[in-house]
C-alpha cells in the first residue's frame, strides 16, 4: 500500500518512533513493539512473533518479498524516502520496519528452568547498554536474563536494534515487580534464585569483592550475576542481598568498564564449562 500522506492514520504507530514517545512505553501499553532493520525483522519472525504490518521504502521491497509471501494477510506500507522520513522522523537506512505483537511475558520460574548462568540487570535504564548486554548474553552462554522493575524495556526499538535481535533468543522476564499495593519485591526476590539453587553474585567494586577469575567461582553449578546501572552500580540493598561480590581485575589507574563491556568480560569468564 503506497503512502502519500505523512498523517495517514494507518501508520500512526510508526509516527511515534521518537525516543520521547516510546520512553512513555506507549508500545508496551498497546501490546506492540517495533522491529527495526531487515535482519531484526527476520529474527523476530523466526522467533515466532506475529507481525501487524511492515513499513519500508521502495528499494527494500524485493529483498523482503519472501517475508511478505509468508505473511500474505499482513499489510505492507511503502513510499518514497521523503514521505517515510516525514512519518518516522528519521531516514530509513536499515531496511524494513515492522510493528509486531508483543509475545506473552514469561515468568521468572519459566526462564530459570534449566538455566545454569543467569544475568540480572538492576536499574539498567540505558537502552543501548541493555541491548549490548543481551547481545553478549546470547553469544557467551548466558541462559536467561532477569530485569529489575526500573530497568529499560528489552523490546524498546533501540534495545532490539543494538542487540541485533538476539533479545528474541535469550529468555527474559521481569523480577521484583510491585504487587497490587505498589510494594516492590526487589531485591527481596533474589531469594527465589537461592531457593532454585543459584549462587547470587554482584559485579561490583567493594571491600568484599573477589577477583572475577578466582577459580572457586567456576565451581558454582548455577550462578546468577547482578549488573548495576552505569554510574551508580549495584545498589547497597542489592549488594547486601547477594552471596558474593566479584570485580574485574583492572590495570592501575582504571577502576571500571562500561557496564556493557563489563558484562561481556564477566559472561566469558563465568560461562558454564560443564
Helix, strand, or coil (residue 179): coil
Q: Specify if 4 maps to a domain.
A: no
pLDDT of residue 26: 43
pLDDT of residue 106: 92
User: Which of 101, 133, 149 is the C-terminal boundary of a domain?
Assistant: 101
Q: What is the CATH number of the domain that holds 23?
A: 3.30.1330.30
Residues 125 and 209 in one domain: yes
pLDDT of residue 25: 45
Q: Specify if 208 maps to a domain.
A: yes
pLDDT of residue 121: 97
pLDDT of residue 167: 95
pTM to 2 decimals? 0.88
> How many domains does the chain contain in total?
2
Contacts 24+ apart (CB under 8 A), 104-110: 105/173, 105/174, 106/171, 106/172, 106/173, 107/173, 108/146, 108/173, 108/174, 108/175, 108/189, 108/192, 110/171, 110/173
pLDDT of residue 86: 83
Q: Specify if 42 maps to a domain.
A: yes
Structural domain for 119, as ranges: 108-269
DSSP state of 153: P
Residues 64 and 151 in one domain: no
Q: Specify if 2 maps to a domain.
A: no
pLDDT of residue 13: 85
Q: Cα 107 to the chain's mean position, in Å? A: 16
Q: Specify if 3 maps to a domain.
A: no
Q: Specify if 274 maps to a domain.
A: no
Q: What is the CATH number of the domain that holds 199?
A: 3.40.1280.10
Residues 59 and 120 in one domain: no
* Cβ-proximal residues to 90 (8 Å cutoff; 6+ apart), any chain: 17
* Cβ-proximal residues to 50 (8 Å cutoff; 6+ apart), any chain: 100, 101
User: Which of 70, 101, 132 is the C-terminal boundary of a domain?
Assistant: 101
Residues 155 and 202 in one domain: yes
Say if CB 64 and CB 54 are below 8 A apart. Answer: yes
pLDDT digits (tens, 9 = 90+) for 114-126: 999 999 999 999 9
Say if CB 41 and CB 63 are below 8 A apart. Answer: no
The strand pairing partners of 227, in sequence order, are 121
User: Which of 76, 101, 126 is the C-terminal boundary of a domain?
Assistant: 101
User: What's the mean per-residue pLDDT of the chain?
Assistant: 88
State which residues of the chain have pLDDT below 50: 21-27
Q: What whole-number distance in Å separates Cα of residue 174 and Cα of residue 18?
A: 24
Residues 84 and 144 in one domain: no
Q: Specify if 163 maps to a domain.
A: yes
Residues 251 and 136 in one domain: yes
Amino acid at each position: 500500500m503506497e503512502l502519500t500522506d505523512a498523517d495517514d492514520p494507518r501508520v500512526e504507530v510508526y509516527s511515534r518512533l521518537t525516543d520521547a514517545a516510546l520512553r512513555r512505553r506507549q508500545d508496551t501499553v498497546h501490546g506492540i513493539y517495533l522491529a527495526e532493520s531487515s535482519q531484526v525483522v527476520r529474527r523476530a519472525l523466526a522467533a515466532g512473533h506475529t507481525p501487524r504490518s511492515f513499513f519500508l521504502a521502495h528499494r527494500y521491497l524485493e529483498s523482503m518479498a519472501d517475508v511478505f509471501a509468508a505473511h500474505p494477510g499482513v499489510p505492507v506500507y511503502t513510499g518514497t524516502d521523503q514521505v517515510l522520513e516525514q512519518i518516522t522522523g528519521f531516514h530509513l537506512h536499515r531496511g524494513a520496519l515492522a510493528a509486531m505483537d508483543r509475545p506473552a511475558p514469561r515468568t521468572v520460574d519459566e526462564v530459570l528452568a534449566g538455566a545454569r548462568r543467569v544475568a540480572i540487570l538492576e536499574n539498567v535504564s540505558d537502552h543501548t547498554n541493555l541491548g549490548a548486554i543481551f547481545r553478549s548474553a546470547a553469544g557467551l552462554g548466558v541462559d536467561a536474563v532477569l530485569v529489575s522493575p526500573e530497568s529499560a524495556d528489552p523490546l524498546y526499538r533501540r534495545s532490539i536494534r543494538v542487540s541485533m535481535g538476539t533479545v528474541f533468543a535469550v529468555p527474559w522476564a521481569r523480577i521484583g515487580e510491585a504487587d497490587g499495593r505498589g510494594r516492590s519485591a526487589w531485591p527481596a526476590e533474589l531469594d527465589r534464585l537461592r531457593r532454585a539453587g543459584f549462587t547470587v553474585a554482584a559485579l561490583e567494586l567493594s571491600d568484599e569483592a573477589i577477583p572475577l577469575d578466582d577459580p572457586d567461582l567456576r565451581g558454582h553449578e548455577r550462578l546468577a550475576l547482578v549488573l548495576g546501572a552505569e554510574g551508580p552500580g549495584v545498589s547497597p540493598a542489592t549488594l547486601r542481598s547477594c552471596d558474593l561480590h566479584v570485580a574485574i581485575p583492572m590495570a592501575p589507574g582504571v577502576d571500571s568498564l562500561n557496564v556493557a563491556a563489563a558484562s561481556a568480560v564477566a559472561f566469558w569468564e563465568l560461562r558454564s564449562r560443564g
